[in-house]
Structure 1
Amino acid sequence: MKALLIGATGATGTDLLEKLLNDTTFDEVTIFVRKPIALTNDKLKVHVVNFDRPEEWEHLVKGDVAFSCLGTTLKAAGSKEAQRKVDYDYQYNFAKAAKDNNVAHFILVSSYGANSKSSIFYSRIKGELEEAVQVLQFQKTTIFNPGMLQRKNTDRSGEVVMEKILRFMNTIGLFKKHKPLSTDVLAQAMINAAKNQTNSYDVIKLNDIYKLGIN
């Protein structure tokens, strides 16, 4: 199976890429990145691209399954317009290229609370992307709606504090549907979903992500 991936240098993408390269189900892994990476592997193909110019790379999006786990924060992006470009435009362009090139299965990491009608900007663009991907009508579409992600070596102090609070609340039986999810488990769930060849449109929530991601 040939896998395609954007977001390979992020927290979830890093775990996913490692697992894809170590999984014998996948004989080729092609990633699209903005800057060269140091990693080398016989199965790995790296395309350094300008995501603002999809016409230059869209013909390269050819394979069996496409994974999209690109994303940023408002703080890192600097503006809502810049965040929308990463969290919606780049991912939609990747999905559109995959569909045009007959990729059968598209797997998207979205977010808990994604809703195109939300008054919260982040939730709204996530919901809009989910709807846009659904319209493309892949043979199989899998969308993951995790809550807070537990990232390795994160430098997001707010996330660290919130994770500790949620874990404490979980121990006393509160906010179970918001419990932190490790990127390692999410990545494994994405791989397991890719191996399911049944044609369908699935939105996978937190508890089911745990079930799918823990072997």
Structure 2
Amino acid sequence: MAATSRTPSSTAPGAPPPMGLRERKKLKTRVAIRQAAYRLIEEQGYEATTIEQIAEAAEVSPSTVFRYFAAKEDIVLSDEYDPLMEALLRSRPADEPPLESLRLIVHEALTSFVTAEDGELRRCTRLMAEVPAVRARMTETMSDTARMLTRVLADRSGRSADDLRIRVFVAAVLGALREVALYWGEHGQEGDLPAMADGAFDALAGGLRL
């Protein structure tokens, strides 16, 4: 979903099968790079932190960093949640309204991220709010999540994967969640984030009337 960076549990309902050794090693490297980046950014700021410094702190080469992340912004934005989100969405009852399915999945995820208290969600949303390059890249990377959601909802409804109504629906949901994340980051991460997301879903369900 490009706004969180915590690794999803493989034991969650509808989750993919446990990863093999190769996949676990790749994930361990990604996590090490991300943690090194956050640590350096906390110490010296986003702009002053370089890929070379991140690589050294993570004990990998710069080329390895670029093999896992196309740009520095991706290090703080990329996550492993999309595959789990897809599995969870496919596991919801076929006759459940799509907006309700997404509300339940997002609420569960945000509640888990906030209560984990590992700090990554807070660091990520703060950078989204403070660093224009991170905010711009977030908008770009959300297209991957949009394609995934469009594909799943098309399968559920029997429509084409390029159906315009589904694309507009997905864009509205992701746009609302993007604004929730930015608002939370801009306001010192105060308030109940899952409740804010629920409020965004209420606005969408109510036809966006002010």
TM-score, length-scaled by structure 1: 0.30
TM-score, length-scaled by structure 2: 0.31
Higher relative contact order (CA 8 A, sep 6+): 2
Q: Judging by fraction of residues, say which structure has more helix.
A: 2
Larger Rg: 1 or 2?
A: 2
